[in-house]
Amino acid sequence: MTINREKKQEYPLPPGSFGLPLIGETLSFIKDPNFGNKKEAKYGSIFKTNIIGKPTVFMVGAEANHFILQTHFDHFSWREGWPENFRTLLGESLFLQDGEIHQKNRRLLMPAFHGVALTKYFNTMKEIIDRTLKKWAEMGKLTLFPEMKEMTFEIASVLLLGSEMDNREEIKLLSQKFGELTKGLFAFPFNLPFTNYGKALKARDFLLQHIEKEIEKRKNNLKEDTISLLLQSQDEEGNRFSEAQIKVQALLMLFAGHETTTSMLTSFCMALAQNPEVREKAILEQKTLMDESDFTMEQIKKMTYLDQVLKEVERLYPPVAGGFRGVVKPFVYNGYYVPKGWQVLYRIERTHKDPNIYTEPKKFDPERFNSQRMEHKKTDFSLVGFGGGARFCLGYAFAQLEMKIFASLLLRNYHWQLEPNQDLSLDRIPSLHPRSGLKVALYSGR
């Protein structure tokens, strides 16, 4: 509910503490993976703190997700919910836009991630993934997370920016620069050459210059990549992206197009190695499909068990633990008043382990998503790894296609196992991954 300013004294602020002056509890938030759980145990499902320079309210549960993502959507801003570093490094892209400008630009971007575009992306994704898996099998033993990031970045670079697949040096350099940029997203904003933030600013400028050159090339030579689609895209009113807008949208897509997918696929490999009965069932589904026809887009639609497995990976290993929003209208939730100018964080990972929604929530159990159980349908907004409501992830179908192609080819043609004596505890920055990077032995053949 909204609240009149003169009546706000009737409602208390959420319980909690702001910590130290200026830095608040930021260091504990970053370093302690159980920060939120400890606070929730002490204060309940809504509590206040001060992190990343702002008073912040944590809100826990599907009801809170529904409140933030749908029923009170207009009380919150994406732009105001993220650190200034994001605005500086990723620009005025869709990620940080609100209201009508977001809706208009989302419509312009939509064709690049749905329908005919996905069909055109299929063969390129398959070729890159197939080549990568063969390389990994030749390596025999590898640390999966950085190798996975290299693969997903190549897919994003080729399909979104139009990089040539055989130009390995260019793709490697772009990946290196992008790694430097992402390290600056949560860094202290000290613009010095030796700091992560200073390096990130230089990497941003390098990437934007590269994208600008690609835009110039596309003007006379359109391809089946996203930059070409954006140059042609227009909405029902005839609006088009300017070149400056295409630059920042392309940079965002490069970020969104590989970071979370890397995390999900790494978790997929870890979870199936740890749950052999799930892996065998997933292999059986792939064998059945292999007997029907060649590997095609049509087969992707028949992978019902793989769908369940990927949903369970999303539930138990969400790439991002929560979503920030800036409060642009004060509100009351569960009897507590939250002022304008604060920010909220809805806790994705905590909702996904709610025992009131999910049976044995710590267990990896894809069957919870089968047609008989459908546990995520008990309560709206109980599975939100890709967001929800009007801001549901625009690239979800793109990511699903990429993940299914990878999972299918891996299950059909390779075997893998985890190497012993490694740290499988999870680090959440920049996205969820095992601290060891996930060391595996991988070889071809079933």
Binding residue numbers for heme: 393
Please report where in the chains the tokens 């990976």 appear, as a residue.
313
Beta bridge partners of 16: 48
Distance CA 263, CA 330 (A): 35
Positions of E strands within 235-321: none
Q: Which two tokens stand for residue 344?
A: 């909220």
Beta bridge partners of 337: 332
Q: Which residues are annotated as a binding site?
A: 393
Please report where in the chains the tokens 């302690």 appear, as a residue.
32
φ/ψ of 326, rounded to 5, equals -85, 140
The residue type at 246? I
Residue 32: strand, helix, or coil: coil
Question: Cis omega before residue 355 (within 30°)?
Answer: no
Distance CA 408, CA 28 (A): 40
How far are the Cα atoms of 9, 25, 117, 333 from residue 340, in angstroms, in the given order?
14, 20, 41, 13
Geometric angle at alpha carbon 393, from 387 and 397, rounded to 5°: 125
Distance CA 55, CA 221 (A): 50
Report the sign of the C-alpha dihedral through residues 55, 103, 223, 127, in that order. positive
Residue 92: strand, helix, or coil: coil
Positions of E strands within 11-122: 46-51, 54-59, 76-77
- Report strand pairing: 426-427 vs 54-59: unpaired
Contacts of 122 by beta carbon, 8 Å cutoff, 6+ apart: 297, 401, 405
Q: What is the DSSP string of 304-370?
A: HHHHHHHHHHHHHS-SSSEEEEEESS-EEETTEEE-TT-EEEEEHHHHTT-TTTSSSTTS--GGGGS
The residue type at 1? M
